[in-house]
Structure 1
């Protein structure tokens, strides 16, 4: 029997049962106890708290104002106690107390949201922390133990401490604003032509001078945040390669123009998306379940 100071959880259960059933006798039937046991539990609760919870002046005891307020509080305490017991049982069975996930900014959020919604249904008491990271940061957070799982758009290094699971391919689109000179360029868009213009790239702020993935032009503007880079692309400050799912609406509306570059040696058409975790830290039940759910997700509709 749980005890909270001078309270017991059983006393709170009796109080809530009376409110739900409507009387002492009905609460006794609900809890399968004699009415005298119900009366004793309430009397003890009133004595320990120094409050009158029921008005007994009539034939049937009725809640006082204090009794109704405390019955509502009792219901909340019981719900929290039940959640505590479920969490303790789940953790004892191998469910991690908290699951932290780091997402690269390239990651499509739709499949992740669906997977996390299913995770919540399967493990309603599991606390989840979600980090949205710039380029390189998701892998770094997994390495330093700040996140259990990382979802990143770049293939992790071949270091033996990381386990990588392929999830999908993210289609890339080189884009410019319709007012940019490249949008009206009639020559084939070779590396030399692209190099004549400023390229807007993503960079890792903790690495100098930063990664060189898909960098073609010697003239670059570096961005840590992919949303800010998109704003500058829309404003015509340069050209850049974006995940297609992030610019699809802008392309359809004409706010951006897709550059036709057929040579994959200049710019790749897609990039792999991976789930990574540290081999030295075994995954808990929730993380393993989520990883399998992410693999089941349909990330993109077929073109």
Structure 2
């Protein structure tokens, strides 16, 4: 029966290769030279390969030995990652951070926080889902993710813990060539109702997403970028996240509408998790880092969770 490989044998192998001799490897490892020689012999017997040419004054790796030494270095690095990950998990770090983010969230602060997360926890696997409006809550309830960022109704389910994160300003806009762009003065609801409104939907068969719907004529879109493309082509008007259209308004491609009733509104985004599965060390760190990145944004509305 072939004896199994051990990490200690691989450490000895790499030490001999890097120091150039059995005696130098023994000094590095603080062992007697005979123990180093025996370890290499046992490894060669296990692999049924000659790893060093011993005919000269110094042992030189054979062709097979050079390949095995590189594999040994890789396995030792992986073992170090495994040990570090185990130590982190024992200290409260999640084995993997899973999070779903609503597409309404501005990408810049999320990206900044995630870059910082990678630097703080370089060995942490991350699963990031950014899909339709209703996807974050669905993934959370299905157990696909541990954290989700999305708008929560005033009275949320008791089994979910909800923390306010930020407001997303929504502004009414239209393509520069659309008839509404040429209208003078603040627009009344009746004027808007005569034109197609491009409405967001969460894609569910019975979508209840209806914030800001004014016109009885509407096209529904589950994807913000697709709706933006139709908006720019003059298919209709809509409320868009301000961060997505500010540059286009500045360039003259889109025009912000001024309405008699309201010229925009905020959609609050919340960090949500199941009460029975609170965020671990990395999840809580990421939430706090996002709050730092979002500090210039407005404060929560009265009564926000």
Using the size of structure 1 for normalisation, the TM-score is 0.91
Superposed CA RMSD: 2.0
- The answer as to 2:290 corresponding to 1:290 is no
Q: Which residue of 2 aligns with 1:164?
A: 162
Q: Give matches, 1:134-153, under 5 Å.
A: 134-153=132-151
Aligned residue in 2 for 1:118? 116
Aligned residues of 1:83 and 1:125 also touching (Cα < 8 A):
yes
Q: Is the 1:134–1:204 Cα contact (8 Å) retained in structure 2?
A: yes
SS in 1 for 2:34: helix
Report the CA distance between 1:187 and its aligned residue: 4.3
The reply to whether residue 83 of structure 1 matches residue 53 of structure 2 is no
Aligned to 1:101: 99
Rounded Cα–Cα distance in structure 2 between residues aligned with 1:70 and 1:167: 51
Aligned residue in 1 for 2:6: 8
More deviation in 114-123 or 65-74? 114-123
TM-superposed deviation, 1:122: 2.6
d(CA) in 1 for partners of 2:154 and 2:25? 61
Q: Secondary structure at the match of 1:133?
A: coil
The secondary structure found in structure 2 opposite 1:39 is helix
Count of matched residue positions in the alignment of Structure 1 and Structure 2: 297
Structure 1 counterpart SS, 2:268: strand
Gaps of 5+ in 1: none
SS in structure 2 of the partner of residue 274 of structure 1: strand
Return 5+ residue gaps in structure 2 as ranges. Answer: 299-305
- Where do 1:183-202 residues align within 5 Å? 183-202=181-200
Q: Aligned partners of 2:151, 2:264: CA distance in 1, in Å?
A: 13
C-alpha contact (below 8 Å) 1:111/1:299 kept by paired residues: no
What secondary structure does 2:285 align onto?
helix
Other structure's SS at 1:125 match = coil
* Structure 2 contact 165–269 (Cα < 8 Å) conserved: yes
CA distance in 2, matches of 1:126, 1:156: 34
SS, match of residue 282 in structure 1: coil
Shift of the 228–68 alpha-carbon distance from structure 1 to 2, 3 Å rule, reads: same
The match for 1:245 is 243
- The counterpart of 1:274, out of the listed 270, 273, 292, is 270
* Contact 1:106–1:153 (Cα < 8 Å) also in 2: no
The 1:166/1:188 distance shift into structure 2, 3 A limit, reads same
- Provide the rounded CA distance (Å) in 1 between the counterparts of 2:93 and 2:182: 56
Q: Give how far 1:10 is off.
A: 0.5
The equivalent of 1:56 in structure 2 is: 54
| 1:300 shift after superposition | 4.5
Q: Is the 8 A contact 2:186 2:260 kept in 1?
A: no
Q: Distance in 1 between matches of 2:297 and 2:54?
A: 68
The verdict on how the C-alpha distance between 1:68 and 1:228 changes in structure 2, with shifts beyond 3 A counting, is: same
Secondary structure class of the residue paired with 2:130? strand
Name the CA distance, whole Å, in 1 between partners of 2:28 and 2:245.
59
* Maintained 8 Å contact 1:28/1:34: yes
For 1:225 and 1:299, locate their aligned partners in 2 and report how far apart those are by CA, in whole Å.
27
C-alpha distance in structure 2 between counterparts of 1:261 and 1:191, whole Å: 8
In 1: Cα distance, 2:104 partner to 2:207 partner:
21
Pick one of 245, 255, 258 that aligns with 1:257: 255
Structure 1 residue aligned with 2:301: none
In 1, Cα distance between equivalents of 2:154 and 2:116: 27
* CA deviation profile, 1:115-173 (whole Å, cap 9, x unmatched): 22222233222211111021122122222322211112454642212222112222222
